[in-house]
Structure 1
């Protein structure tokens, strides 16, 4: 049933949209097909922009679109807004609070909810756009360096009243993994052990420590990737905001 639904969605996309300007994995939306496409997916991340977008923000959006192109529950889309001629999509943008001076602007559309805005003050990075989706949906999008099964275990661990037991269960599951996944899984276990010892404050402390190292820029490219992956695994613990 769900496969048929997805197939229908894909066919609809080919019928009503074209590939967005230089944005692989994106679709182009307008005032005629917007509601038809939005209603077909659990979530749609939309960039309202000029008709022929360019620049760093467009590049960031394109990079995320390529990364998430295979996700069946989520799609990234662009709305090109013109302030000349027929002023295509201007009314559509204004409907969601996006004026000429706001372009480019991001809105996340989630079924059954009001659109979520990426704050104007927020830095346009792949991480921030990805986290906007992660924080407002239940869709698994998989941060680089993470394992889906262990992301779910991390969430269960944080919400568990018996973290020691969850730690032991996770340790047992590491043995079931392929060798190339064990090293990553062991990082989850290490973080869980630290939380058992020091409490949830460990996550905040470690996030700050790793971010500080990365900002100093004194590590080589290989180490940067390693630290970035560890940061992503920390985020997978999805701490409630009142516990951060």
Structure 2
């Protein structure tokens, strides 16, 4: 009888644990970010230089939430030590969970979702009202308000810096030296570094017009019937071209 009772207790405990886990997962705002409340808000933020916060309804949905979730999923691992990505679910009914937290930072529930950046535990920047909540705009918001590196898909910080040096000098010998040195780094960094190398080689051969011509070629190719992997490769190449173009002399810019 005692053994049966113990078995039943263990069985019930397992069921409770499964329900708890399912509820916890269901309440998670999005993959790559964490849910916080009045009690945990500052406790988790204090450990990070910056925290990206989305104040929203308790069970967020829709395009704006999906764009935030997309950013969290793609960037949580890339900048894991410098940026914490969180959600604050606010209720204006019942126990009014996190409503005091929203009021503390002057967040208007009628304008949900509202995205802000905290520097440690101090409110640092608010999402500009004129800007749509889109994946690329979230990256732009962070770039403009922090010193964190938020690269475009396929871009590498080290090679973005190399591209900047390469484009800023008009001296062919200096460009050749930068290219030569970057080849040794490419073997170490790998990834898409070979695209940077090839782009610099082409620019040396054909001049800055290569950037314009290659952009047109790739955009046309992206509209044809190609595989998803090829589309991704083209998208990364276009993003890298954007880096080179951003440092091109004004009279040559796209």
**TM superposition score normalised by structure 1:** 0.69
Distance 2:120 2:217 in 1: 35
| 1:124 aligned residue (120, 127, 133) | 133
| Deviation for aligned residue 1:212 | 6.5
Distance 1:151 1:65, change over 3 A: same
Q: Are the equivalent residues in 1 in contact too, given 2:186–2:194 (CA < 8 A)?
A: no
1:101 is aligned to 110
C-alpha separation in 1, matches of 2:66 and 2:39 = 26
Distance 2:48 2:171 in 1: 35
Q: Contact 2:118/2:124 (CA < 8 Å) preserved in 1?
A: yes
Partner of 1:231: 238
Whether the aligned pair in 2 keeps the contact of 1:171 and 1:189 (CA below 8 Å) is: no
Deviation string, structure 1 residues 54-99 (Cα, Å, up to 9, x no partner): 2222222222222223221111100111111232222322444421
Q: Which has the larger radius of gyration?
A: 2
Which SS does the other structure have where 1:115 is aligned? Answer: strand
Whole-Å Cα distance in 2 between the matches of residues 128 and 121 of structure 1? 11
Q: Where does residue 79 of structure 1 map in the other structure? A: 88
TM-score, length of structure 2 as denominator length? 0.66
Task: Tell me the residue number matched to 1:60.
Answer: 67
Change in 2 beyond 3 A, CA 1:233/1:88: same
Question: How far apart in 2 are the matches of 1:34 and 1:118?
Answer: 19
Query: Which residue in 1 is equivalent to 2:10?
Result: none
Q: 1:236 to 1:208 in 2, by over 3 A?
A: closer
Structure 1 CA distance for aligned equivalents of residues 214 and 107 of structure 2: 34
Give the paired residue count.
220
Instruction: Compute the displacement of 1:148 (Å).
Output: 3.4
Secondary structure at 1:46 match in 2: strand
Superposition CA RMSD, Å: 3.9
SS at match of 2:52: strand
Tell me if 1:29 matches 2:42: no
